[in-house]
Chain A
Amino acid sequence: MAKVKPRVKVPKTASAGEVITIKTLISHKMESGQRKDSDGKAIPRQIINKFTAEFNGQPVFSADIHPAVSANPYLEFTAKVSESGKFTFTWVDDDGSVYTDEQEIAVS
């Protein structure tokens, strides 16, 4: 299984008030908890259950994720930016791990 690794694509620059598209992807197995192993034992659920994106500390987008979401969840959304700043992305794993990524954007 590939290691859990978040990745984000945010434009480097934008003009004030522009609606930008943000793409996010985290490599994760998203084990649903519904499957059984070769011995017939249930494989415990382990998924990313929450995703949030903030811009300069203000929430921009968030999602609660459920077991039907497939491996390597990909989320794409738009945001309107009026000033330069930093996006912070957070993924929360069932096992308590929190994965984060940050991207700066220059707004002119």
Chain B
Amino acid sequence: MKKSILNGVMGGVVAALVSSAAWAEPVDDELVIDGDIKMVVRTKAPEGHPFDEIRSGWQYRTKETRALEVDSFNNPGMLRVEEGEGIWNTADGTEGKSCADCHGDASESMKEVAAHYPKWDAQSNRPINIELMINKCRTERMGAEAYEFDKGGQKSLTAYIKHQALGTPVSIDLTQGDMQSWWEKGKEEYYTRTGQLNLSCSNCHEDNAGNYIRADHLSMGQVNGFPVYRLKQADLVSLHNRFRGCIRDTRAEQPKAFSDELMALEVYVTWRGTGLSVETPAVRN
């Protein structure tokens, strides 16, 4: 009923919206990095996914932003990846060990590894992501202090490790431990409206993916490129920072980074991107 009134009164406006719909679609371009690494930016969704096909946020960005990711020399996030490489090779803590002392060459030992995180961590009885894995190594093996959220080398080192999986399709194992129940919990959060604006993740990234909001082109909210280089911050932005930013924008209370809430959300949202290539460090606006 409401719709027919709208059509009658604002026929012209509705027609204009419909005709611009094609313009609001993501582009179908393919991403090949350095003319060599062919990325999966569009693929069939995993079973049980609300969409038939999933797309990387890369396809939703402008031509100029997309170009920054095509040549790794132009990708500003690579500076931080290089910084991460430095940290990888630098000894820290009372044991006098660096990451490289145990793990050797990251291009071998960390190849494709990050595409399969978060994983189940039996010791802490919860899922573990790259950031927490780094902290575990630091405290248990290196005798170093755990990185505080987004502090020290956390973002650079995470980006460096994830970058070793560049191009590898995301796939996480939900059969490990209690991963499935964390996935369920994350799914519930994804669809729960929250905050003064009463928005759930799905309201933007599922119901309105491809539409414009606040001068921004809403993507599906995929996480395959994190930590991403955000032009807005002119720096790397970690996944949990982005989660918190989104939640802040709904004017809800923000859960702490690496809290149970956000770890469950990471498990679920990572699964929603199953099959997309790891793009770290992706470039977004």
Contact = CB atoms under 8 A, between A and B. Distances in A.
Contacts of B76: 72
A74 B79 contact: no
A72 B75 CA distance: 12
A70 B234 contact: yes
Instruction: Give the dominant DSSP class at B's interface.
Output: loop
A23 B234 contact: no
B74 interface: yes
Interface string B32-76: 000000000000000000000000000000000000000101101
Contacts of A70: 234
Contact of B74 (A5, A23, A27): A23
B234 A7 contact: no
Contact of A25 (B73, B83, B234): B73
Interface string B70-88: 0101101001101100000
Interface residues on B, range: under 10
B234 A2 contact: no
A72 B73 contact: no
Interface string A49-84: 000000000000000000000111010000000000
A9 interface: yes
B234 A9 contact: no
Interface string B212-254: 0000000000000000000000100000000000000000000
Nearest to A76: B74
A72 B79 contact: yes
A2 B82 CA distance: 10
A70 B79 CA distance: 15
- 8 smallest CB-CB distances across A and B, nearest first, come from A9-B73, A27-B79, A2-B83, A23-B73, A2-B79, A72-B79, A72-B76, A25-B73
A9 B78 CA distance: 14
Interface of B: 71, 73-74, 76, 79-80, 82-83, 234
B234 A71 contact: yes
A5 B78 CA distance: 13
Interface string A1-34: 0100101010000000000000101010000000
B74 to A, nearest CB: 7
Contacts of B79: 2, 27, 72
Contacts of A72: 76, 79
Contacts of A5: 82
B156 to A, nearest CB: 9
Contacts of A71: 234
Nearest to B73: A9
A71 B79 CA distance: 12
B67 to A, nearest CB: 12
Nearest to A9: B73
Given A25-B73, A74-B74, 7 more contacts: A2-B83, A5-B82, A7-B73, A9-B73, A23-B73, A71-B234, A72-B79
Contacts of A74: 74
A74 B79 CA distance: 12
5 contacts: A2-B83, A7-B73, A23-B71, A72-B76, A74-B74
Contacts of B73: 7, 9, 23, 25
A79 to B, nearest CB: 17
